[in-house]
């Protein structure tokens, strides 16, 4: 009898525990959805609060004022137009046209509408002052971002992200075309409010070969010792694949196939791996994942999510077909390889503080995914080093003059039309390796830029060189 009662009690406790856990998860989900709604422009509470609250100041990583409110209902932005435009998608706007900007994503913090500010606002009201929100200090550097924006072709479109792959901090982020937060209705260009670094999903082209390479190293024993044959084209089922420019690479090793960016070799690797295996590897890197980060809105990247047909599979091997990714995600992938297989959660907010300067919260680095083991990551990093430094490699223009460390990377030239009537998007992803002072990873995409090696790699070289000089 006692044993039966004991078991009933145990079951009861277990059920109670499950109910509490389910309730907790439900509350957390509701709270997260509530916070997202509060930060959306249609929320009338948000609009009313902006009329009566002195919004917090937004600073860049060097404490340059990007946005401030001298009084309730007033918002001013940094006067330097080059800095203002380069940071526009990070700053955001008061109308909520930019979904990802700090003015929008973190409006409740800037307005002091979070639960933790209740006591502060009560005290302000008793003293007869207008309510004052919290200040935000970003990890992003405005000067580096403006410099990178100047490297793009005039009138060009695309994006660039530089991150610290040890901490996840976003050091620079550029999306073109930009908009002017101080005059949001001037020179309106189609899609200008989309943050291409976070929201625009591009075919990654040959930069995705880093993922295919790791999948092959993990799942095809002895593949690093194999030889591959490339005649410049490969007919499979109802389609014919080509290497860039119809180049015939001939008899090559896996390393050479990677450094010379041989589509045929990587298409064959994808076919051997099979759709389920390549998809599984890509998902270890975060593809087909809905990202829910505290600091930023990042759209999901996709690989073989909607189709695993053989034709899509072989194209996925070199980043075409049913594969797309955001520039930030591709920078995170590069950074994970540099970081011995550990991908860090991206961080944009360095600190939240009271208007008096007293910190409320500070950035805490957080591991997001383990994408591969350290040995495989180091092998991939070596291949990426050779892709920048070997004769005949596609990424030689990513080399940094005067820099004695290791520059590693991968170029890409991604087709945007099935009939090849438009110029390819130029890609480069890479990182500085085994440099404790400068653990930087980068992704660059130039829409219609043509060759990644010719267009994107030089931008990456100059951007990383400037970041090194600034010692961020």
Q: To which H or E segment does residue 163 belong?
A: strand 158-164
Query: How many C-beta atoms lie closer than 10 Å to residue 81's C-beta?
Result: 13
What parts of the chain have a pLDDT lower than 70? 1-43, 115-130, 187, 237
Closest CA to 175 of 327, 344, 295: 327
pTM score above 0.75: yes
CA distance linking residue 49 with residue 46, whole number of Å: 5
Listed in order, strand segments (DSSP E) in 297-454 are 302-303, 323-324, 342-344, 349-353, 359-362, 367-370, 406-414, 425-433, 440-446
Q: What angle do CA 63, 65, 67 make, to 5 degrees?
A: 140
What are 388's two structure tokens?
């920048």
Token pair in block for residue 287:
């593809």
Q: What backbone torsions phi and psi does residue 17 show, to the nearest 5 degrees? A: -65, -45
- Phi, psi torsion values for 282, nearest 5 degrees: -60, -35
297, 302, 306, 312: CA torsion to nearest 10: 160
Domains and CATH numbers, the chain: 205-347+364-470 (3.40.710.10)
| CA within 13 Å, CB half, 171 | 26
Closest by CA to 228, choosing from 189, 171, 270, is 270
Q: How many C-beta neighbours within 10 Å does residue 244 have?
A: 20
In angstroms, the CA 182 to CA 74 distance is: 11
């Amino acid at each position: 009898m006692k044993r039966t009662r004991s078991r009933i009690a145990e079951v009861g406790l277990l059920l109670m525990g499950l109910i509490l856990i389910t309730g907790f998860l439900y509350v957390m989900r509701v709270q997260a959805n509530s916070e997202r709604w509060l930060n959306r422009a249609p929320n009338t509470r948000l609009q009313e609060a902006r009329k009566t609250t002195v919004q917090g100041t937004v600073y860049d990583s060097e404490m340059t004022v990007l946005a401030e409110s001298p009084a309730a209902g007033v918002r001013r932005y940094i006067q330097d137009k080059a800095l203002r435009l380069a940071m526009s998608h990070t700053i955001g706007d008061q109308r909520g046209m930019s979904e990802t900007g700090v003015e929008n994503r973190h409006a409740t913090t800037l307005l002091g509408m979070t639960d933790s500010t209740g006591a502060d606002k009560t005290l302000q009201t008793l003293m007869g002052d207008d309510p004052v929100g919290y200040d935000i200090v970003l990890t992003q550097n405005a000067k580096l971002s403006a410099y990178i924006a100047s490297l793009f072709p005039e009138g060009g479109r695309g994006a660039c992200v530089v991150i610290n792959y040890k901490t996840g901090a976003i050091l620079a982020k550029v999306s073109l075309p930009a908009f002017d937060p101080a005059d949001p209705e001037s020179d309106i260009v189609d899609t200008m409010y989309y943050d291409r670094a976070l929201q625009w999903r591009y075919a990654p082209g040959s930069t995705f070969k880093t993922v295919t390479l790791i999948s092959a190293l993990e799942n095809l024993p002895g593949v690093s010792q194999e030889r591959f044959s490339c005649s410049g084209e490969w007919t499979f089922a109802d389609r014919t694949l080509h290497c860039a420019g119809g180049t015939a690479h001939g008899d090559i090793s896996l390393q050479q196939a990677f450094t010379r960016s041989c589509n045929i070799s990587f298409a064959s690797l994808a076919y051997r791996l099979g759709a389920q295996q390549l998809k599984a590897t890509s998902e270890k890197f975060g593809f087909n994942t809905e990202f829910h980060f505290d600091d930023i809105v990042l759209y999901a990247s996709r690989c073989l999510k909607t189709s695993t047909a053989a034709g899509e599979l072989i194209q996925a091997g070199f980043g075409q077909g049913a594969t797309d990714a955001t520039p930030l995600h591709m920078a995170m992938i590069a950074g994970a390889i540099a970081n011995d297989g550990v991908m860090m959660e991206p961080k944009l907010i360095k600190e939240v503080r009271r208007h008096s300067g007293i910190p409320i919260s500070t950035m805490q680095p957080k591991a997001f995914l383990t994408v591969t083991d350290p040995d495989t990551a180091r092998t991939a990093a070596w291949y990426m080093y050779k892709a920048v430094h070997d004769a005949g490699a596609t990424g030689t223009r990513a080399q940094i003059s005067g820099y004695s460390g290791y520059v590693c990377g991968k170029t890409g030239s991604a087709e945007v039309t099935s009939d090849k009537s438009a110029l390819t998007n130029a890609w480069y992803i890479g990182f500085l390796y085994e440099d404790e002072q400068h653990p930087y990873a980068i992704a660059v995409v130039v829409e219609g830029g043509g060759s990644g090696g010719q267009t994107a790699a030089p931008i990456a070289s100059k951007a990383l060189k400037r970041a090194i000089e600034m010692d961020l």
